[in-house]
A and B are shown apart, each in its own frame.
Chain A
Amino acid sequence: MTKTFSLGGIFPKKYKITSEIPSKDAGLPEYVYIPVKQHIGTPAKILVNKGDKVKVGTLLADADGVISADVHSSVSGEVIRIDETEAASGYFENMITIKVQGDEAEDYIDLSQTLCKEIPETPQEIIDKIRKAGVVGMGGAGYPTPIKDTIPQDKKIDILIINGIECEPWLTSDDRLMVEKAEEIVIGAKILNKLFGIQNAIIAIDENKLKAIDIISNITKRYVGVNVRVCKTKYPQGGEKQLISAITGREVPSGKLPMDIGCLVQNVGTVFAVYEAVMKNKPLYERYVTVSGDMCKTPQTFKVRIGTPISFLIDQCGGYDEKTAQIILGGPMMGNSIIHTQAPITKTSSGVLLLSNELSKRPTPTDCIRCGKCVDSCPMGLRPYLIGIYTRNNLLEELKSIHAQDCIECGCCAYICPARIPLLDFCKLAKIELKNKQGK
């Protein structure tokens, strides 16, 4: 039996055209732009100066404060600029620009392909190594992993869920990673098991990734404490709360963390980064990125150095023409439009999509016909139509009473609404307003 969550969900067309294509090394661009803030929290403190020579893996910026993450160089070369540079949204962010020269790595990194299976480290050492490698959640939010993995004394994790579900259409970066680095991921899961002192890691994969399921379940036979669970292909199966409910049947209470009910969810990308950090001393400077979309000429999943300009990848896929109306960073359901293609890939970018106007055009909204489809599709059991009405009338108390703040911004409601009401926009507005009110 495939598992799934009970409330809502939708079945958008999957478009996983790149799932069978082996990933490719994107190669080295001329310049990389490395933002000092690629995570949630405070930006890292810059350690290098203009003119410094750096190697692959050189620490560029140090975690500043509790919630922050280290940033390493992804190439070797010379720092030529430390300045405000345009990010994908068009806003200016503090970035370190490096001119690429050669490809030389720091000595401490083990670049060999051999698998290391022995886990000698104590939990404290594991956490330290993860911290030193600057690992952050690679599923999207970018919450620093060492902080997420430090469990307070009074809480106990009894199940570790590894999120191998890529429910967003088009994206296949996690899929390729699982097929190509299966054993590493399983060992990564073992490392985390050891960290939490449990023997209960579950790798959740959605049922359309047959190859990944096959490979990983074969490997897990040889490892104690790591198992595969197949989940139904349904959006947003990869949402943290939805995944927990599918695998364990537990529910994260409103306003609490998964940790409070003994669960921890980690993306496969993060687990792979943990493996590399602990076993190979390799900082997080590379990731898998899918370049796809209906306007993309040769869709492909790439292994990309962090900081590579997005346009460098798009060019390798045949560039884009006037017919491309939108370029999206992330998936089509939750991703954002890109304004500057010169902007870099960061630790949290999972895909770049070139979309045509027909597909991405926002339809004109009409009146709500009270069909209830938004209610049926909401994975959080909310009533999006009501959130829309209340937000338009700015009824904050009412919004709170219908739990608008619990919306996970998955976009199911806006996707399904036949009247084309931008329900997700209203949900986001409601959340902004509720937060403002709380701040006061």
Chain B
Amino acid sequence: MITILFSNVLIVGGIAFLSALMLYFISKKFSIKENPVLDKIEKSLPGANCGACGKAGCKNFALACIVSSREEFENLYCPVGGAETMQKVAKILGFKAPKKEPQVAVLKCNGTCDNAPIKLQFDKIISCRLANQISVGQTECPNGCLRLGDCVKVCKFGALKINEKTLIPEVDESKCTACGACARICPRGLFEIRAKGEGGKRVYVACNNKQKGALARKNCKAACIGCMKCAKICSQIQIKDNLSYIPSDVSAEKYGEELVKNCPTGAIILKNAQSKKEHS
């Protein structure tokens, strides 16, 4: 019995010892020497590794900051951390921080299930990007939301979720950092990162359908039909491919209500109009 116990201890202990050794060597081999300044910059970054800055991860952004000249640094910006973070980084490097206006993501589609009824059934397709390759989508709008939530999955900040009633994604303004991940992943390019606007008030066209009016309306009640009514209200508004675009310098304060009132389909959305509740 003693021998049995002894060999038990030996075998188990041996395995433990071997694994410990292996772990030690592996960690030794793959450890990277840190640069103290890099470390400092990295710590002041949000650490989300979202890639919004155009670099692969926060570490690479920090690296880019270190090697940048004064002018180059002006062009580096972490949209997630915003001005505050850039201030910090600038201080570490002894540079001046660039200025940027606060931004937010908006969804350029209002194909809710009321507006755009489901016409065909998706059978467990896992991603919008794939669905976009093989079909027009459940609503048959070739430019609208596919409702499979790639954007929701890619958002690191939990700012997006699919609204259970409308079936399309919704942006939570307080969480959105304008990192642009959703804009990059959406196969239909439905997200626009645009200025938050004064007091969060902004007006935009929530439609991406480039078909002719009648066709667009066939699949979605809230489609932009390119009727030019909005363009008559404000000359900055351009209509291209049967689709209107309201640039972000069109004042929501001045034109917002009027635009919304005059759009025959309800494609124009005014967010955060005072005292009123949010448009859905």
| Residues of A bordering B, CB below 8 Å | 84, 89-92, 326, 336-337, 339, 360-362, 364, 394, 422, 425-426, 428-429, 432
Contacts and interface: CB of A to CB of B under 8 A. Distances in A.
B7 to A, nearest CB: 31
Contacts of B154: 394
B124 A362 contact: yes
A92 B126 contact: no
18 contacts: A90-B136, A90-B137, A90-B142, A91-B136, A92-B142, A326-B123, A336-B134, A336-B135, A337-B134, A339-B136, A361-B123, A362-B123, A362-B124, A394-B154, A425-B125, A428-B133, A429-B127, A432-B130
Contacts of B137: 90
B211 interface: yes
A394 B153 CA distance: 11
A339 B130 contact: no
Contacts of B26: none
Contacts of B133: 428, 432
Interface string B129-171: 1100111110010100000000000100000000000000000
A432 B129 contact: yes
Nearest to B142: A91
A168 B140 CA distance: 29
A400 to B, nearest CB: 13
Nearest to B141: A90
Interface of B is mostly: loop
Contacts of A426: 126
A303 B272 CA distance: 61
Interface string B181-225: 000000000000000000000000000000100000000000000
B120 interface: yes
A74 B194 CA distance: 50
A429 B120 CA distance: 22
Given A89-B135, A91-B142, A339-B140, 4 more contacts: A84-B211, A89-B134, A91-B136, A425-B125
A222 B133 CA distance: 47
Contacts of B211: 84, 92
Given A90-B142, A91-B142, A92-B142, A425 B126 contact: yes
Contact of B130 (A84, A360, A361, A429): A429
A90 B140 contact: yes
Interface of A is mostly: mixed
The 6 closest A-B pairs by CB, nearest first: A90-B136, A362-B124, A336-B134, A362-B123, A425-B126, A89-B135
A192 to B, nearest CB: 33
Given A337-B134, A429-B130, A422 B124 contact: yes
Contacts of B134: 89, 336-337
Nearest to A338: B135
Interface residues of B, number: 17
Contacts of A422: 124, 126
Given A92-B142, A92-B211, A429-B129, A337 B124 contact: no
B152 to A, nearest CB: 14
A49 to B, nearest CB: 20
Given A92-B211, A339-B120, A362-B123, A425 B130 contact: yes
B133, B135, B137 interface centre (most CB from chain A within 10 Å): B135
A342 B81 CA distance: 52
Given A92-B142, A337-B135, A428 B130 contact: yes
Interface string B240-274: 00000000000000000000000000000000000
Contacts of A429: 126-127, 129-130
Contacts of B135: 89-91, 336-337, 339
Contacts of B124: 362, 364, 422
Contacts of A337: 134-135
A267 to B, nearest CB: 23
B227 to A, nearest CB: 20
A90 B120 CA distance: 11
A429 B154 CA distance: 13
A362 B123 CA distance: 7
A339 B124 CA distance: 16
A426 B127 CA distance: 9
Nearest to A362: B124
A359 to B, nearest CB: 12
B60 to A, nearest CB: 12
Contacts of A364: 124
A394 B135 CA distance: 24
Contacts of A425: 125-127, 130
A364 B124 CA distance: 8
A60 B133 CA distance: 28
A322 to B, nearest CB: 13
Contacts of B123: 326, 360-362
A327 B123 CA distance: 13
Nearest to A361: B123
Interface string B107-136: 000000000000010011111011001111
Contact of B136 (A84, A89, A361, A432): A89
A429 B133 CA distance: 11
A91 B127 CA distance: 18
Interface string B89-102: 00000000000000
A257 to B, nearest CB: 24
A364 B126 CA distance: 12
A107 B124 CA distance: 52
B222 to A, nearest CB: 20
